[in-house]
């Protein structure tokens, strides 16, 4: 979406829309440096620049996957004098190959790119950051559901909503105060960095693929023949890496992590167990 405000062109990318974009998210964790949806976002940006030639200032924004697209624009088009700032909200990062391919662009243009994140957000911690991160106090409540499980699901959805970072004052939405990233998310970010650095490529692909299935309606159909299968010995290696990390990370609060991420960890756990059973049956 694009709109003009005075002499400013504002381009905004929405978050993940449908299963095919979830597939694109997963492919972004592989060795692919430029995914299909990132390239489409860049084409749209270039079209808007051509459509509004007299604009003096351009600002790019987006939430979640849209934030990742916005950051992608900042890296590849940040050398444009008209592009003043990129404001991502809770956008995920990029894989190592992307960082290597665009090292110069990231170095030169990174000062324009900001990622504004809920202090408890869990999407911005995925992969490597190319942005200046700013963490905002969360206003997510525990919801009105009766069960503890439902409240946790509500919180998980809430902390990734951009609305959880705003307050309404005199009819105007303003950002909450800037804070430090929550300790639990600092530790989870370290955990995912540890996985990415130490996992085999096939294990890493499988982990992100199975995590994405939790959010997809028809993931296996979308991935088709590209659907990753459980690598032999995955569960054993995954468990070993996790134990190694928690052993060396004294600040990790296992009970807090379990409470906050139980809906996700339970599903992943059952998937991993099924993977283990299928491996043993081979």
Q: Is the pLDDT of residue 199 over 80?
A: yes
- Per-residue confidence (pLDDT) for residue 259, from 0 to 100: 47
Q: CATH says 2-136+176-181 is which class?
A: alpha beta
Beta-carbon contacts of residue 3 (< 8 Å; ≥ 6 apart):
9, 10
More confident position, 188 or 153 = 188
- Per-residue confidence (pLDDT) for residue 273, from 0 to 100: 36
- Per-residue confidence (pLDDT) for residue 266, from 0 to 100: 43
Q: Is the pLDDT of residue 267 over 90?
A: no
- Per-residue confidence (pLDDT) for residue 140, from 0 to 100: 78
Q: Is the pLDDT of residue 1 over 60?
A: yes
The C-alpha torsion from 150 through 152 and 158 to 164, rounded to 10°, is 130
- Per-residue confidence (pLDDT) for residue 49, from 0 to 100: 96
Domain spans, the chain: 2-136+176-181, 186-280
**Chain-centre distance of CA 20, in angstroms?**
16
Whether 264 and 271 have beta carbons less than 8 Å apart is answered as no
pTM of structure: 0.83
- Per-residue confidence (pLDDT) for residue 269, from 0 to 100: 44
> 183-219 in b/e burial notation, b at 16+ Cβ within 10 A?
ebbebbbbbbebbbeebeeebbbbbbbbbbbeebeeb
Cα Dmax for the chain: 65
User: Cα–Cα distance between 72 and 253 in angstroms, integer?
Assistant: 34
Whether 16 and 69 have beta carbons less than 8 Å apart is answered as no
Beta-carbon contacts of residue 204 (< 8 Å; ≥ 6 apart):
29, 195, 196
41-55, 91-105, 174-188: least confidently modelled range: 174-188
More confident position, 15 or 88 = 88
Confidence band for 55, pLDDT divided at 50, 70 and 90: very high
- Per the listing, tokens 């996790």 go with 242
- Per-residue confidence (pLDDT) for residue 153, from 0 to 100: 58
Q: Is the pLDDT of residue 252 over 70?
A: no
pLDDT tens, residue by residue, 26-51: 888 887 899 999 999 999 999 999 99
- Per-residue confidence (pLDDT) for residue 64, from 0 to 100: 94
- Per-residue confidence (pLDDT) for residue 148, from 0 to 100: 58
Phi, psi torsion values for 120, nearest 5 degrees = -110, 5
Look at residues 35, 17, 26 and name the one whose alpha carbon lies nearest to residue 71.
35
pLDDT tens, residue by residue, 123-157: 999 999 999 999 999 987 655 556 655 555 556 66
User: Cα–Cα distance between 186 and 120 in angstroms, integer?
Assistant: 9
User: Cα–Cα distance between 4 and 79 in angstroms, integer?
Assistant: 21
Task: Give the DSSP H or E segment for 194.
Answer: helix 183-198
Query: By percentage, how much of the chain surpasses pLDDT 90?
Result: 47
Taking residues 46-74, report their average pLDDT. Answer: 96
- Per the listing, tokens 């096939």 go with 202
More confident position, 11 or 259 = 11
């Amino acid at each position: 979406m694009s709109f003009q405000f005075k002499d400013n062109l504002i381009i905004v990318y929405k978050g993940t829309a449908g299963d095919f974009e979830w597939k694109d998210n997963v492919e972004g964790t592989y060795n692919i440096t430029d995914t299909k949806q990132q390239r489409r976002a860049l084409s749209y940006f270039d079209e808007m620049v051509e459509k509004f030639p007299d604009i003096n200032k351009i600002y790019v924004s987006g939430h979640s996957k849209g934030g990742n697209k916005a950051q992608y624009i900042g890296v590849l088009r940040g050398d444009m004098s008209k592009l003043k700032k990129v404001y991502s909200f809770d956008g995920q990062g990029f894989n190592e190959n992307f960082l290597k391919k665009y090292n110069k662009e990231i170095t030169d243009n990174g000062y324009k790119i900001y990622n504004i994140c809920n202090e408890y957000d869990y999407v911005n911690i995925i992969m490597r950051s190319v942005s200046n991160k700013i963490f905002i106090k969360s206003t997510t409540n525990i919801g009105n559901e009766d069960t503890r499980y439902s409240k946790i699901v509500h919180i998980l959805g809430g902390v990734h909503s951009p609305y959880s970072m705003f307050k309404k004052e005199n009819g105007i939405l303003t950002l909450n105060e800037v804070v430090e990233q929550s300790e639990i998310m600092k530790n989870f970010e370290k955990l995912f960095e540890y996985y990415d650095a130490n996992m085999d490529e096939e294990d890493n692909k499988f982990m992100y693929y199975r995590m994405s299935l939790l959010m997809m309606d028809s993931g296996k159909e979308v991935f088709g023949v590209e659907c990753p299968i459980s690598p032999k010995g995955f569960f054993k290696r995954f468990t070993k890496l996790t134990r190694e990390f928690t052993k060396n990370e004294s600040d990790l609060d296992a009970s807090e992590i379990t409470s906050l991420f139980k809906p996700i960890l339970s599903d992943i756990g059952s998937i991993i167990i099924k993977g283990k059973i299928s491996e043993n049956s081979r």
